[in-house]
């Protein structure tokens, strides 16, 4: 008997159609209501509902994170290997490390906010948010300022290649980034006891399964931290700043009650996601959302939709500070929940505290609407604001 080859699924939507490029959040809202498990050639099976996403997150045996042909530590690993590397990484985001970094985090935030022009137009993404992400990440990892501009240009190239699915360009861009990291590792090895006492140096002493981490593993760890941190953290700042400018009542409340900022930031970023999606692959036939998936199917977890699911959050656009935080998938859930969440929360709370504390008002500019980012980025690519 011959093996039966499953028919290729029909396309339910086009993630790169004009409407999705213009306002991807609105399109995801529509898909969640009319076709919550949808197939496309570009993204495979996209999951738009909170319940379906949670099914994937809670079952790593069926929904594997090993989706790339390249080493991805630990994002692209499954149990039990994932736990060994996650143990190493979690140690770099402890409360003690956050407390130690907080003063430097505050100084960077103060300097960035002080440098903002007052009373005129500010393009917040290019003039503030991207610098914030670069400076915070570089400071936390111990990277030199000389890397800021190369990394900023690298982010743009990486985003463009990812959007276009240009595998040749993506490989060249990854090789370029790896070169930056390997150069820093070589410098630290050469410095011996005189090497900077930072996270990058610390990784050289880490062991997995009883052996020292190899350069490929360290590069992968730092690449995952950097790619995620730089793009999403800049997006976070833009999303929060836009929300404050668009909602004067919320802005006033947070100015008067800054203790509400941690919950408010998480809620604002639930409403509009800085990270749009993550990938998985099915390891066996499975039913999800009423649809039958074969083994080996590509799956896209659409965070930007799941975190707006009306069955969980009611009106997804309402900013409510009394929601159950366990339902918010801003930092994921399950074994792959973001290890850097404590650092992200520290940085975001600090920068928004300084932005509110050193300004009288943050406002939108009439006739100059923001430009939405397109997949795989979230938030805004251009955000004109006035800060007084």
For residues 351-370, give the mean pLDDT: 97
Residue 36 has pLDDT above 50, yes or no: yes
1 found inside a domain: no
What b/e readout covers 348-358, taking b as 16+ CB neighbours within 10 angstroms? bbbbbbbbbee
pLDDT-derived band of residue 3, with 50, 70 and 90 as boundaries? very low
Q: Which residues pair with 372 in a beta bridge?
A: 380
Residue 231: the pLDDT is: 85
Looking up tokens 């083994």, which residue turns up? 295
Question: Does 11 fall in a domain?
Answer: no
Range 50-62 average pLDDT: 98
Of 290, 375, 288, 293, residue with least CA distance to 44: 293
The answer to whether residue 9 sits within a structural domain is no
pLDDT in tens, 227-244: 767 889 999 999 999 999
| CB neighbour class for 311 (10 Å; exposed up to 12, middle 13-18, buried from 19) | exposed
Q: Is the pLDDT of residue 153 over 90?
A: no
pLDDT mean over 70-92: 95
**What is the structure's pLDDT at 7?**
57
State the pLDDT confidence band at 94, using cuts at 50, 70 and 90. Answer: very high
In a domain, 312, yes or no: yes
Question: Rounded to an integer, what distance in angstroms lies between the CA atom of residue 345 and that of residue 322?
Answer: 18
**Domain contains 40:** yes
Q: Does residue 214 register a pLDDT over 90? A: yes
246 near 384, Cβ under 8 Å?
A: no
Mean pLDDT of 97-107: 98
Query: pLDDT for 243-265, tens place per residue?
Result: 999 999 999 999 999 999 999 99
> Between β-strands 298-302 and 44-47, what pairing exists: parallel, antiparallel or unpaired?
parallel
pLDDT at 79 > cutoff 90? yes
Angle (CA) 52-58-60 rounded to 5° is 105
Q: How many domains does the chain have?
A: 1
Q: How confident is the model at residue 154 (pLDDT cuts 50, 70, 90)?
A: confident
Distance CA(59)–CA(334), nearest Å, equals: 9
Q: Cα separation of 211 and 281, whole Å?
A: 29
**Is residue 140 predicted with pLDDT exceeding 70?**
yes
The residue written with tokens 């137009």 in the block is 121
Average the pLDDT over each of 78-92, 173-187, 309-323 and give the range with the smallest value.
173-187
Residue 121, in any domain of the structure: yes
Tell me, what CATH number does 44's domain have? Answer: 1.10.630.10
pTM of the complete model beyond 0.85: yes
Q: How far apart are CA 129 and CA 291, in angstroms?
A: 40
Residue 6 resides in a domain: no
At 284-295, the pLDDT tens digits run 999 999 999 999
pLDDT of residue 5: 43
Residues 319-353: tens digit of each pLDDT = 999 999 999 999 999 999 999 999 999 999 999 99
- Residue-range definition of the domain harbouring residue 155: 18-387
List pLDDT tens digits, range 295-314: 999 999 999 999 999 999 99
Let me know if residue 2 belongs to a domain. Answer: no
Burial label for 209, CB within 10 Å (0-12, 13-18, 19+), is: exposed
Nearest to 370 by CA among 227, 246, 279, 263: 246
Q: Which two tokens stand for residue 16?
A: 């790169």
């Amino acid at each position: 008997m011959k093996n039966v080859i499953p028919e290729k699924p029909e396309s339910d939507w086009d993630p790169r159609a004009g409407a999705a490029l213009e306002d991807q959040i609105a399109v995801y809202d529509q898909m969640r209501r009319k076709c919550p498990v949808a197939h496309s050639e570009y993204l495979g099976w996209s999951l738009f509902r909170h319940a379906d996403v949670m099914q994937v997150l809670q079952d790593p045996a069926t929904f594997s994170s090993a989706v790339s042909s390249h080493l991805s530590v630990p994002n692209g690993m499954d149990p039990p290997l994932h736990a060994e590397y996650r143990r190493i990484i979690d140690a770099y985001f402890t409360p003690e490390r956050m407390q130690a970094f907080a003063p430097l985090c505050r100084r960077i935030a103060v300097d960035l906010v002080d440098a903002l022009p007052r009373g005129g137009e500010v393009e917040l993404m290019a003039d503030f948010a991207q610098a914030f992400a670069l400076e915070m990440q570089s400071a936390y990892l111990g990277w030199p300022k000389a890397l800021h501009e190369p990394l900023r240009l690298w982010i743009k190239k990486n985003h463009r290649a990812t959007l276009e699915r240009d595998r040749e360009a993506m490989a060249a861009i990854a090789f370029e980034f790896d070169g930056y990291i390997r150069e820093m590792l070589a410098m630290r090895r050469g410095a011996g006891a005189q090497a900077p006492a930072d996270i990058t140096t610390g990784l050289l002493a880490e062991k997995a399964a009883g052996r020292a981490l190899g350069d490929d593993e360290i590069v992968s760890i730092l690449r995952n931290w950097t790619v995620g941190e730089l793009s999403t953290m800049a997006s976070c700042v833009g999303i929060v700043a836009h929300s404050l400018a668009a909602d004067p009542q919320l802005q006033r409340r947070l100015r008067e009650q800054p203790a509400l900022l941690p919950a408010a930031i998480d809620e604002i970023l639930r409403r509009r996601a800085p990270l749009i999606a993550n990938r998985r692959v099915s390891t066996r036939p499975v039913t999800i959302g009423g649809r039958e998936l074969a083994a080996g199917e590509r799956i896209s977890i659409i965070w930007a939709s799941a975190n707006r699911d009306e069955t969980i959050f009611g009106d997804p656009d309402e900013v409510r500070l009394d929601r159950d935080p366990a339902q918010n998938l801003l930092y994921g859930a399950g074994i792959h929940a973001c290890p850097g969440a404590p650092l992200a929360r520290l940085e975001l709370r600090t920068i928004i505290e300084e932005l509110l504390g050193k300004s009288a008002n943050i406002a939108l500019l009439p006739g100059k609407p923001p430009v939405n980012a397109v997949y795989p980025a979230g938030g805004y690519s251009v955000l004109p604001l006035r800060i007084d």
